[in-house]
């Protein structure tokens, strides 16, 4: 039998400290927000420091599936409780050392086409 996403939680160090593994600790709504963020750019644009040689492939991969428009449409229909999710994110201790509070702000910004540097 195939393991569910929540049972299968490899370290996946190549995903770094930004890509949500959907481990189930965050609420369904917060995990859904991160899935939609993944549709925008595969969670590749993290606004963290990277080796410049690593940045160009990240940019290329970020638009691989061209699903940003779909993600923003679904996001608009979903009507997330932004303040509630930001409050939840401040309390989450992610086993993959993702700074969930920090991550949530650019996730919203990407889906609302805001400039994440202004958040
Ligand atoms: S705790 Fe980390 S990996 Fe788990 S759902 Fe939240 S952000 Fe994703």
- Residue 20 Cα to ligand 1 midpoint, Å, equals 5
Break the chain into its structural domains and give their ranges.
Answer: 13-118
89 lines ligand 1 (CB under 6 A): no
Tokens in use for 96? 């993959």
Q: State the closest ligand 1 atom to the C-alpha of 92, by its place in the atom list counted from 1.
A: 1
Question: What pLDDT is stored for residue 83 in this prediction?
Answer: 97
Rounded to an integer, what distance in angstroms lies between the CA atom of residue 85 and that of residue 107?
11
In contact, 43 and 18? CB cutoff 8 Å: yes
Q: Which atom of ligand 1 is nearest to the CA of 98?
A: 2
State pLDDT tens for residues 21-48: 999 999 999 999 999 999 999 999 988 8
- How does residue 8 score in pLDDT terms, banded at 50, 70 and 90? very low
Helix (H, G, I), strand (E, B) or coil at 95: coil
CA distance 38 to 6: 18
Contact 20, 31 (CB under 8 A): yes
């Amino acid at each position: 039998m195939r393991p569910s996403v929540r049972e299968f939680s490899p370290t996946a160090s190549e995903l770094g400290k930004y890509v949500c593994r959907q481990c189930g600790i965050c609420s369904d709504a917060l995990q859904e927000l991160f899935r939609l963020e993944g549709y925008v750019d595969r969670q590749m644009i993290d606004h963290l420091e990277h080796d410049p040689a690593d940045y160009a492939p990240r940019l290329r991969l970020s638009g691989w599936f061209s699903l940003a428009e779909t993600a923003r449409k679904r996001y608009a229909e979903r009507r997330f409780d932004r303040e509630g999710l930001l409050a939840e994110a401040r309390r989450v201790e992610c086993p993959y050392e993702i700074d969930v509070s920090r991550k949530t702000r650019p996730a919203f910004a990407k889906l609302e086409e805001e400039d994440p540097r202004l958040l």
